[in-house]
Amino acid sequence: MYHALLLTLIYVTIGHDITALQRESITRSSLIHTQTISSEQSARSTWMWTSVTELSDTEIKNLIVQSRTENISTIYVSLDPYLTAYESKASAEEIATIINRYAYFIQAAHDSNISIQGLAGNTNWHLTDYSYIPKLLMQFVIEFNATQVRGFDGIQFDIEPYSRSVFWKNQTEESKLFLELVTETRDELEQHLGKDFQLGFALPYWFDGENSRLITVPWAGQQKYLTEHVIDILDQSTLETYIVLMAYRNNAEGSDGTIQHVIGEADYIKNNASSVGLLVGQETTNVQPEKITFFNLSIDDFTQQEKAITAAMSGYSSYKGIAIHHIESFFELINK
């Protein structure tokens, strides 16, 4: 394939000392697992939608240093630059530049014991006309990892079909298309990547039926809510799998707090799918309503609620920490 050949040639573009890199003892699995969650503070991951092509070497280094300082062990890095280049029929040189930036970012992160996962999503990718996009991005990651010593440690899909009005008019069909996508991504990645590679999906907390508008749907002979089906599909994988529950609240406790919105899924995983990980999403951007974000609060407020979540989740082996949306606004919160 054209892109496979191009990826092979990128070694020359990047200028890495491949022999030296191969002698290093850091492995992808150690990067994923060495982060220890303390009794009070969770391991942190974060979304980065900013294009890697917009960051200089110095900016990348500074971002990695601050991430390490703030206990961020995983960064989900947008794959949009490659998708945009593909859609615009970019030249081989332009594609090479993009790959160069991903390779530099990943190496800088790995050198600081931070894992990097590809991040991708849109509201319509479960539809037939757009189903080629997840496949394209998976192929990009697969080929990248096959030709680079330092590859992506995983990929996360943030596909939000419920953002389209048609979802609510035809929940059963829309839900089945979404579950087909989850199944296809699992199967495709399993064929090409090792068991330490991570596959995750970002889901709203109410996909388990907390939203009274959501209905159960049939899948694999069972009638369940979407979250439960997704967990079941991921539990059958040979990859490391997880869900991120977007349980955006700036208060951990109470009937409308973060803990209340994630405990049901934690119980479901504990009882039915012990291999699936669970991360709890928290919002820091400037969005409404105010109760869903820490934007107008302080880093001390964030840390206090984070500790409460960690304490509540300490009895669940599936709990893998906090996922923060997103890295730029989180750093702004810290620097207030």
71's tokens: 């206990």
pLDDT for the residue 174: 97
pLDDT for the residue 39: 52
122's tokens: 């849109």
Domain 2-334 has CATH 3.20.20.80: yes
Which residue has better confidence, 42 or 47?
47
Average pLDDT over residues 144-163: 96
DSSP labels, 118-182: EEE--TTTTSGGGTHHHHHHHHHHHHHHHH-SS--SEEEE---GGGSHHHHHSHHHHHHHHHHHH
Q: 248, 292 in Cβ contact below 8 A?
A: yes
Kindly tell me if the per-residue pLDDT of 29 is higher than 70. no
The rounded distance, in Å, linking the Cα atoms of 216 and 277 is: 23
- Residues of the chain with pLDDT > 90, as a percent, come to 86
pLDDT digits (tens, 9 = 90+) for 258-304: 999 999 999 999 999 999 999 999 999 999 999 999 999 999 999 99
- Going by pLDDT thresholds of 50, 70 and 90, the confidence category of residue 4 is very low
Name which of 26-30, 79-83, 117-121, 135-139 the model is least confident about.
26-30
Average pLDDT over residues 304-326: 97
- Going by pLDDT thresholds of 50, 70 and 90, the confidence category of residue 9 is very low
pLDDT digits (tens, 9 = 90+) for 172-216: 999 999 999 999 999 999 999 999 999 999 999 999 999 899 999
Sketch the domain layout of the chain as residue ranges.
Answer: 2-334
- Going by pLDDT thresholds of 50, 70 and 90, the confidence category of residue 2 is very low
- Going by pLDDT thresholds of 50, 70 and 90, the confidence category of residue 35 is very low
Kindly tell me if the per-residue pLDDT of 25 is higher than 80. no
The rounded distance, in Å, linking the Cα atoms of 121 and 108 is: 25
- Going by pLDDT thresholds of 50, 70 and 90, the confidence category of residue 19 is very low
The rounded distance, in Å, linking the Cα atoms of 143 and 285 is: 34
Q: What's the chain's average pLDDT?
A: 90
pLDDT for the residue 328: 97
- Residues of the chain with pLDDT > 70, as a percent, come to 88
**Whole-number CA gyration radius for the chain:** 19
pLDDT digits (tens, 9 = 90+) for 49-79: 999 999 999 999 999 999 999 999 999 999 9
